[in-house]
Amino acid sequence: MRYSGNAKNVLFNVMFAPVLIEESKHFMHSEEFNLVSGDGSFLIGRLWKPAGNPHAVICIVHGIGEHSGRYDAWAKRFCEQGFLVYAVDLRGHGLSEGRRGHIDHISNYLDDISSLIRLVKHSWDELPVFLYGHSMGGNLVLNFLLKKRQDFAGAVVTSPWLRLVNPPSSFVQKAASVCNCFFPKMTFRTGIKSSELSSIPEQQKSSDADDLMHSKISVRLFTELNRGARDVLDRPSRFSIPLFFAHGTADEVADFKTTRHFSEKIGENAGFYGAKNARHELHCEPVADDLFFFLTSWISDTLKKEAHAK
């Protein structure tokens, strides 16, 4: 079963008890940390730690052109529920080094995520870990699960880049495939507007004023992400851990129907929340409270099931 609409009706592919983890914790502090990826790339990460002992760890993977600092308010909400939250600026983003909007291969980003996961698993090996990917980050989280490892309690995927609403024309994509061989670093603007990210004026102004954001994408990066999306869409049966998908019906960046259909193909392991009239960044939309409720309820139920299985 599925859910679409407001918080009055709850319909998921896997039914769960909508009980939030006890709100007895309060946000304590956040800090930046250094991280080195497998090829030596220098990355900057962020950590949000609750005041008490955490229930679980959430690792956030951001979207294209943004950075982990944009999730500060969202991460603090999870801290108030007793979660420990980690995030990293992928290479070429935020405070991390690297050419803006370009990678040689999707494995570069997957290696960045691997470095973060190794740190988290080493530091908190006794805690269940959830991956959380938004937009491009959703594409990367699904590729990470497909190609690297699935030893996680679950994964959250919001507004993933699986299919774009307005992709380049077939002619442009054919030209890009040629350029990918000879001029892979050729860079274009993504064309994503802040008004497509959120309907809230204050959020739009914040995005436009953020000096750490960029709007660049190289021919190679576009090609790699598109190939990664096809890899994921072709293999729904390969995902064995619990997954929570969320997407807004008014998303003008990533295609809502593709996400919904993909979650249906995965089957009972996948829950889906369709946010009516919401744009691309659900956590920056009026539906954010509903999303947080359903998401944390799903995490709570997943942890209970994991505990009972043991």
Portion of the chain with pLDDT greater than 70, in percent:
91
Q: Per-residue pLDDT tens for 127-183? A: 999 999 999 999 999 999 999 999 999 999 999 999 999 987 777 777 777 787 788
CA-to-CA separations, 56 to 85, 183, 269, in angstroms, rounded: 9, 44, 20
Residue 5, pLDDT > 70, answer no
Instruction: Report CA torsion sign: 130, 273, 271, 140.
Output: negative
Residue 14, pLDDT > 70, answer no
DSSP summary character for residue 151: -
Residue 65, pLDDT > 80, answer yes
Tokens of 13: 């592919």
Taking the mean position of all CA atoms in its chain, how far away is CA 7? 22
Give me the mean pLDDT over the 5-32 stretch.
49
Per-residue model confidence (pLDDT) at position 89? 98
**Sequence-separated (6 or more) residues with CB below 8 Å from residue 144:** 110, 113, 114, 131
Q: Answer whether 114's CB lies under 8 Å from 38's CB.
A: yes
Per-residue model confidence (pLDDT) at position 165? 97
Per-residue model confidence (pLDDT) at position 294? 97
Q: What is the pLDDT confidence band of residue 310, given thresholds at 50, 70 and 90?
A: low
Q: Per-residue pLDDT tens for 80-97? A: 999 999 999 999 999 999
Taking the mean position of all CA atoms in its chain, how far away is CA 292? 14
**Sequence-separated (6 or more) residues with CB below 8 Å from residue 39:** 108, 111
Q: What does the mean pLDDT of the chain come to?
A: 90
Residue ranges and CATH numbers for the domains of the chain are 3-309 (3.40.50.1820)
DSSP summary character for residue 166: S
Tokens of 125: 């090996």
Portion of the chain with pLDDT greater than 90, in percent:
81
| Kind plus residue range of the DSSP H or E element containing 140 | helix 136-147
Per-residue model confidence (pLDDT) at position 12? 39
Find where tokens 């295609």 sit. Answer: 255
Residue 29, pLDDT > 90, answer no
Per-residue model confidence (pLDDT) at position 72? 96
Give me the mean pLDDT over the 190-202 stretch.
97
Q: Per-residue pLDDT tens for 284-304? A: 999 999 999 999 999 999 999
Find where tokens 């801290």 sit. Answer: 79
Residue 4, pLDDT > 60, answer no
Per-residue model confidence (pLDDT) at position 9? 32
Residue 34, pLDDT > 90, answer yes
Q: How many residues does the chain have?
A: 310
Q: Report the interhelical angle of 72-80 vs 288-309 (nearest 10°).
A: 50
Per-residue model confidence (pLDDT) at position 156? 98
Per-residue model confidence (pLDDT) at position 27? 63
Q: Answer whether 109's CB lies under 8 Å from 102's CB.
A: no
**Sequence-separated (6 or more) residues with CB below 8 Å from residue 126:** none
Give me the mean pLDDT over the 90-119 stretch.
97
Per-residue model confidence (pLDDT) at position 180? 77
Q: What is the pLDDT confidence band of residue 259, given thresholds at 50, 70 and 90?
A: very high
Tokens of 40: 């030596």
CA-to-CA separations, 29 to 4, 72, 90, in angstroms, rounded: 35, 11, 22
Q: Answer whether 165's CB lies under 8 Å from 204's CB.
A: no
Q: Answer whether 168's CB lies under 8 Å from 226's CB.
A: no
Q: Answer whether 97's CB lies under 8 Å from 17's CB.
A: no
- Summary count for the chain: helices (H), strands (E): 9, 11
Per-residue model confidence (pLDDT) at position 172? 75
Give me the mean pLDDT over the 253-278 stretch.
97
